[in-house]
Amino acid sequence: MSIYKLYFICGAAMALVVLWDYTKLPATARRLAKKTPATGSQFSKIALDTRNMVVMALVAFFLWPLVIYLELFDRGGK
């Protein structure tokens, strides 16, 4: 198995984890996801949540080592 194939398999696995629930990665989500406003239509909340999921999935797929690093060594939330 080549290193590229392994890298993209791990990236796909990380993207699936993020798509499952991006709040499981709080340090990364805090940096990349926009907060859902208390006011606004239901459609705007769905659109913002969809945007957050797409951004997190793309970052997880292409930059999964960075995601793991941020989750393990983030000191800002403690």
Per-residue model confidence as pLDDT tens digits over 18-60: 777 666 677 777 777 788 777 888 888 888 888 888 888 888 7
DSSP letter at 76 equals T
CA–CA dist 41, 47 (Å, integer)? 10
Residues near 12 by beta carbon (within 8 Å), at least 6 away in sequence: 61
Total-model pTM: 0.64
CB atoms within 10 A of CB 14: 22
**The two three-digit tokens of residue 24, written as one number:** 């499981």
- Per-residue pLDDT of 30-39, as tens digits, reads 777 788 777 8
Q: How far apart are CA 13 and CA 40, in angstroms?
A: 34
Domain ranges of the chain: 3-73
